């Protein structure tokens, strides 16, 4: 990744024009050719520096639901519980964190009711208490990291 | 007198009103915008819509916050942001909105959510994701945040991730 890639990423983290020739518009802002911009973007997506280029949706507005869930898992039981939790396709990601509540995962489902259903199944299969912490309010959606 | 406080969840934000064409457009754009000089016209061709209508519909989805943002999504890890910490704060309820907004202004804060406390085990009600080049950098960012938003007196906990077991994009219908 060179300085032009960085400039492109920094600019396109802020938004993308809704116009007939948006790449041309962005390229002009950067002082480069439209074709160069498209090639660079395509390369950054191919080599997975970027995970996406397009709209980020609010899943709740589309009828979906998210929740952050934590479990206190004894060390000797961690692998077993990981396997149980990760077997659910609704689990978007799962991190081990250094706290008493040491397993943290995000559930993404197409309805709020399914969040509760998945949590009950996880409790039943693991024998451990699940701490469900859905988002109540959001103060910011950043994802705007200078690179 | 019964002093027990019942926690009530606020109702979820209303689901947006979307017609079939909006749904088709949303699904189509999930794969990303076409990398062609006229991406909106190209999306339109697939849905038999003209370019203007595509642009207007996307504009409306954006205004209604169905689309949070249009642009690139970076993989933090690949860009040198190797460390992140979920930093949680125990903030008096009446101050959450103000302090959350303050924290959300910082570039290294990528998420800032209010969530329910789970007493007695879990007193924290504001969750922030703080990024940095390494753990030291993350801790420096947290210290800066605490200073700038007057959070030094607020109980907090920094939870670094030690292993990532699964990551995939969210699935939308």
Distance, C-alpha B50 to centroid of its chain? 32
In this predicted structure, what is the pLDDT of residue B134? 92
* Nearest Cβ partner for B159 among A59, A61, A99: A99
Minimal-distance CA residue of chain A relative to B14: A61
Nearest-angstrom CA–CA distance, B103 and B83: 19
CB A10 within 8 A of CB B65: no
Nearest-angstrom CA–CA distance, A136 and B152: 24
Q: What are the two backbone dihedrals, phi and then psi, of residue A105, each rounded to the nearest 5 degrees?
A: -135, 160
In this predicted structure, what is the pLDDT of residue B171? 39
Instruction: Evaluate whether the domain defined by A65-133 bears CATH number 3.40.50.300.
Output: no
User: How many Cβ contacts (< 8 angstroms) between chains A and B?
Assistant: 255
Rounded average pLDDT over B39-51: 97
Contact B30 A54 (CB under 8 A): yes
Nearest-angstrom CA–CA distance, B125 and B48: 47
Q: Is B72 on the interface with A (CB under 8 A)?
A: yes
Residues in chain B with CB shorter than 8 Å from the CB of A133 are 115-116, 118, 122, 127
* Nearest Cβ partner for B107 among A54, A137, A142: A142
- Tens place of pLDDT per residue across chain A (147 aa): 899 999 999 899 889 999 999 999 999 999 999 999 999 999 999 998 898 899 988 877 888 889 999 999 999 999 999 999 999 999 988 999 989 999 999 999 988 899 999 999 999 999 999 999 999 988 865 444 455
- Indicate the domain borders of chain A: 3-46, 65-133
Nearest-angstrom CA–CA distance, A108 and A131: 16
The interface predicted TM-score of the complex, written ipTM, equals: 0.74
Q: Is A46 on the interface with B (CB under 8 A)?
A: no
Nearest-angstrom CA–CA distance, A131 and A78: 16
Q: Is A139 on the interface with B (CB under 8 A)?
A: yes
Nearest-angstrom CA–CA distance, A45 and B147: 38
CB A96 within 8 A of CB A102: yes
Q: Is A108 on the interface with B (CB under 8 A)?
A: yes
pTM for this entry: 0.74
């Amino acid at each position: 990744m060179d300085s032009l890639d960085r400039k492109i990423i920094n600019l396109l983290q802020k938004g993308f024009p809704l116009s007939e020739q948006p790449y041309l518009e962005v390229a002009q802002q950067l002082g480069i050719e439209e074709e160069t911009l498209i090639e660079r973007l395509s390369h950054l997506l191919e080599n997975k520096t970027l995970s996406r280029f397009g709209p980020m949706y609010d899943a709740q507005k589309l009828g979906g639901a998210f929740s952050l869930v934590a479990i206190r898992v004894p060390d000797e039981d961690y692998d077993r519980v990981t396997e149980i939790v990760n077997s659910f396709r609704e689990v978007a990601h799962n991190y081990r964190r250094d706290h008493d509540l040491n397993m943290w995962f995000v559930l993404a489902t197409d309805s709020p009711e399914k969040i509760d259903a998945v949590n009950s199944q996880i409790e039943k299969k693991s024998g451990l208490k699940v701490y469900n912490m859905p988002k109540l309010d959001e103060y910011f959606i950043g994802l705007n990291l200078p690179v | 007198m019964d002093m027990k406080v019942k926690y009530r969840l606020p109702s979820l934000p209303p689901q947006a009103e979307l017609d079939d064409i909006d749904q088709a457009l949303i699904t189509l754009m999930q794969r990303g915008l076409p990398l062609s000089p006229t991406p909106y016209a190209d999306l339109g061709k697939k849905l038999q819509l003209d370019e203007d209508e595509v642009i207007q519909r996307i504009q409306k989805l954006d205004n209604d916050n169905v689309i949070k943002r249009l642009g690139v999504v970076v993989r933090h890890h690949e860009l040198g942001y190797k460390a992140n910490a979920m930093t949680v704060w125990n903030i008096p309820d009446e101050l959450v909105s103000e302090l959350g907004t303050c924290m959300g202004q910082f570039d290294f804060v990528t998420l800032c959510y209010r969530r329910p406390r789970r007493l007695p085990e879990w007193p924290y009600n504001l969750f922030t994701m703080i990024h940095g080049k390494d753990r030291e950098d993350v801790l420096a960012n947290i210290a800066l945040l605490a200073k700038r938003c007057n959070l030094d007196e607020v109980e907090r906990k920094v939870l670094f991730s030690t292993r990532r077991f699964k990551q995939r994009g969210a699935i939308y219908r």
